[in-house]
Amino acid sequence: MKGGPKRFLCDEMLHRLGRYLRMAGYDTLFTAKGDHDNEVLRRAEEEDRWLFTCDTKIFTHSYKWNKVLLLTTSRLAEQIDFITHHFNLKWSEDAFTRCTIDNTPLVEATQEQVEKVPPGARELEGPVLYCPGCERLYWRGSHFEKMWEQLCEFDKKASANL
């Protein structure tokens, strides 16, 4: 599936998948625990988001909104494979451009903000990024390398399955 920016809404059972989508730079929001099915569907439609759900009940109510994908597995790797194929996702293309906490697009940190980063982290290659939403700082530490490798692995696996 190609065309415009991909925007997603993950139900409460798919937070881990949603965080990976955010890491990859995809605009991804979450439903709140206890949201009613009609409210979730209304939100997806109003915000023009694809809804990912494991809830067969909400899926059966989605006849008015055709942008709902039922994920029938709880295994993250299988969820990743399914949506990667369905949307032709590129996991490393726009990686680390959104806050994994609140979904806000990241910006380059100011010098004043960079000074708040631990001294050793200031020596690392790559920019320090800042979330204007939650004021979190991101830098390319050891956690970055692990996440980057995982996103590249998703891409590699998708290419092998073509």
Q: Give the DSSP per-residue string, 72-109.
A: ----HHHHHHHHHHHHT--SSTTTT-B-TTT-PBPEEP
Backbone angles phi, psi at 65, to 5 degrees: -120, 110
Which pLDDT belongs to residue 158? Answer: 85
For the chain, 162 residues long, give each residue's pLDDT as a single digit of tens.
344 578 999 998 999 999 999 999 999 999 988 888 889 999 999 999 999 999 888 877 766 667 889 999 999 999 999 999 999 999 999 999 999 999 999 999 999 999 998 888 788 888 999 999 999 999 998 889 899 999 999 999 888 875
Which pLDDT belongs to residue 125? Answer: 80
Which pLDDT belongs to residue 2? Answer: 40
What is the C-alpha to C-alpha distance for residues 9 and 3, in angstroms, rounded to an integer? 18
Which pLDDT belongs to residue 4? Answer: 57
Which pLDDT belongs to residue 104? Answer: 98
Q: Where are the domains of the chain?
A: 7-87, 107-160
CA geometry: angle 42, 46, 51, nearest 5 deg: 65
What is the C-alpha to C-alpha distance for residues 118 and 15, in angstroms, rounded to an integer? 29
Q: How many CB atoms lie within 10 A of CB 105?
A: 13
Pairing of strands 137-138, 129-130: antiparallel
Global confidence as pTM: 0.90
Helices (H), 92-160: 111-114, 119-122, 142-160
- Give the largest CA-CA distance in the chain: 54
Which pLDDT belongs to residue 64? Answer: 66
Per DSSP, 31 falls in state P
